[in-house]
C-alpha cells in the first residue's frame, strides 16, 4: 500500500498536533517547577538549577514543533494543487 501525498500531510499534521501538546505540557511543568522554587525562597541560581531540566525540555519541544510545522508545510506543498484541502489553520 502506497502512501499518498494527502496521507503524508495528515500524518505530518498529526505529528504537529502531538508536538504542540508536548510543548504545552513541558511549559506547564516548567512553570510549576518555577513556582515551587520561588515559594521555597531559593536564591536565583538555585532556582535556575532546579528548573534547568524542565527548561531544556521546553527548548527541545520548541525545536520539535518548529520541525513538525516545517514538515507539515512541505507535505502540504507536495500535494497537487487541485487535490489540496482548504485549510483555515494548521491544526
**Which tens digit of pLDDT belongs to each residue from 12-67?**
999 999 999 999 999 999 999 999 999 999 999 999 999 999 999 999 999 999 99
Domain range enclosing 71 = 25-80
Measured CA to CA in angstroms, residue 8 lies from 32, 41, 60 at distances of 36, 49, 24
CB neighbours of 64 closer than 8 A, spacing ≥ 6?
A: 19, 22, 23
Number of domains comprising the chain:
1
Q: What is the pTM of this model?
A: 0.88
Q: Do the domain assignments include residue 85?
A: no
Q: Do the domain assignments include residue 15?
A: no
Identify the pLDDT of residue 90: 61
pLDDT > 70? residue 1: no
Amino acid at each position: 500500500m502506497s502512501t499518498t501525498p494527502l496521507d503524508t500531510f495528515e500524518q505530518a499534521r498529526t505529528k504537529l498536533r502531538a508536538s504542540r501538546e508536548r510543548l504545552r505540557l513541558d511549559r506547564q511543568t516548567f512553570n510549576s517547577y518555577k513556582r515551587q522554587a520561588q515559594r521555597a525562597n531559593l536564591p536565583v541560581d538555585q532556582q535556575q538549577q532546579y528548573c534547568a531540566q524542565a527548561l531544556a525540555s521546553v527548548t527541545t519541544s520548541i525545536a520539535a514543533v518548529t520541525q513538525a510545522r516545517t514538515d507539515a508545510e512541505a507535505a502540504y506543498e507536495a500535494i497537487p494543487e487541485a487535490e489540496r484541502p482548504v485549510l483555515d489553520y494548521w491544526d
